[in-house]
Amino acid sequence: MATATMAQPGQTAEQVTYLRRLLRQREYRRAVELIDRHLLDVTGTPVPIDDVRTYAYELLGRRGPSALRRVPVNLRRGAPVSLRRPVTVDLRRLTRAELERVLRWLLAAEIRAADDALRADEYADAVAAAEAAGRIDNRSTHIAMVHARALYELAVLALNGKSPDLDEVSQRLQKAGWLTMRAAHDPTVRDAHKKLSAAIDDVSAIVERRRARTARADAVTAVVQRFNRLVQHYNDQDQLISHIQLGNALASLAQVRVDVDRLLQHHAPESPAGVILVDLRGQCVRYKVHLERQGRRIRAD
């Protein structure tokens, strides 16, 4: 019967470091073999070796021996995995807390970089570190929360800047919300999750209100431009030489007037947009009189 041995500086520590490197490189077959040959009964490691083996075996079954060479793996109960050497089947599954513990060991460098960047308000660097961690394994709730917080802060900075791209801000907030949802089941980040989720919802509501205002402002600008193009086009005498052309001009003007009245329902007359629309409505009335005068001239001719 094998006896447990304490991990000592030296060969065992080097093997644990090598094991971590294999897992980061997605060399799951080699990681399992290393554990089975040299580390299975070792204790005193940063995370329990049994948990690390279960983690490696789970990903071996899901993704194959490595990221570059995916060979079908037999996971039937009691059957050895079909690799170069027989590997004992591991039917155990890590709990959420056990998985997070393994991931914090595996992704220690990225977690440290992301945390340091977040504390220094270097939010783009925090996002980059979180994305680097996700390329190794995207299941860490700690990384998810740091990533979400960094995206939220970037969205707020953009929103407070000049002429923010509201679509880009909204996309960042949506991704931040998705990341916080992934961490919702972790009790260790429950309070942070609630606060960040509420903050994301608040800023998302601001973005939607701004988008609505921008859409209304764009609609006002568009109707003014349509009226100006109409006037410019029919001010050319050659464009009003028949009743058909006159009818087209009046029909286009009537549509502009309908859109002006519709937009006025969303803008108070004393607001900046409302003032523009009230003035445009008056111009529509005056231009209609002008067109009707042109129509009488055409009939007279």
CB of 45 closer than 8 Å to CB of 80: no
Whether 129 and 53 map to the same domain: the answer is no
Residue 173 lies in a domain: yes
Question: pLDDT digits over 40-94, tens only?
Answer: 888 888 999 999 999 999 998 776 555 444 444 455 444 444 445 566 666 678 9
Whether 256 and 285 map to the same domain: the answer is yes
Whole-number pLDDT of residue 3: 45
Based on the structure, what is the number of domains in the chain?
A: 3
- Residue 234 CA to residue 128 CA, distance in Å, equals 56
- Residue 133 CA to residue 127 CA, distance in Å, equals 10
Whether 254 and 282 map to the same domain: the answer is yes
Whether 114 and 193 map to the same domain: the answer is yes
Report the predicted TM-score, pTM, of the whole model to 2 decimal places. Answer: 0.73
Question: pLDDT digits over 149-192, tens only?
Answer: 999 999 999 999 988 999 999 999 999 999 999 988 889 898 99
The residue range of the domain holding 69 is 5-97
3-state secondary structure (DSSP) of residue 42: strand
Whether 83 and 114 map to the same domain: the answer is no
Q: Quote the tokens at residue 149.
A: 């917080």
Residue 43's beta-bridge partner residues? 6
Q: Quote the tokens at residue 29.
A: 């077959």
Whether 149 and 87 map to the same domain: the answer is no
CB of 49 closer than 8 Å to CB of 39: yes
Whether 79 and 22 map to the same domain: the answer is yes
Whether 111 and 195 map to the same domain: the answer is yes
CB of 155 closer than 8 Å to CB of 172: yes
Give the Cβ contact number of residue 249 at 10 Å. 22
